[in-house]
Amino acid sequence: MAADELRVAVEATDDGVVLIRVRGSLDGWSGPSGLVEALEAAADGGGRLTVTDLSRLEFADSTGLHVLLDARHRHAAAGVRLVLAGPLGTEVRRLFEVSGTLGAFTFADTVDTALTC
């Protein structure tokens, strides 16, 4: 996998949880449409919780941040909880810090912790 390639894997459970694992770079060059589609389907799917695992995300820029902010809005409108799971890489965490959006999301240190939110 090239460093700038974005990989998205989706797992759904019988108890209304969708786990979206993100790997690579989330930016304008990586073509985030796969993640957008996964997040939209999770919000609209009638589940109770979407956990987005960012622990293998190497880089994200404003394009990636907008994808996640849009997902937050869509999930809130649908009444589905959205939790971002880490641990976050230094560059990814810095994006949330610099943009002032840390407080806009629910974060969990790990996927296991996010599943109990």
**Residues 47/18, Cβ–Cβ less than 8 Å:** yes
Distance between CA atoms of residues 39 and 2, nearest Å: 23
- Is the whole-model pTM more than 0.75? yes
Distance between CA atoms of residues 71 and 42, nearest Å: 9
**Residue type at position 23:** R
Q: How confident is the model at residue 102 (pLDDT cuts 50, 70, 90)?
A: very high
Q: How confident is the model at residue 117 (pLDDT cuts 50, 70, 90)?
A: confident
pLDDT digits (tens, 9 = 90+) for 35-45: 999 999 999 99
pLDDT at 3 over 70: no
pLDDT at 17 over 60: yes
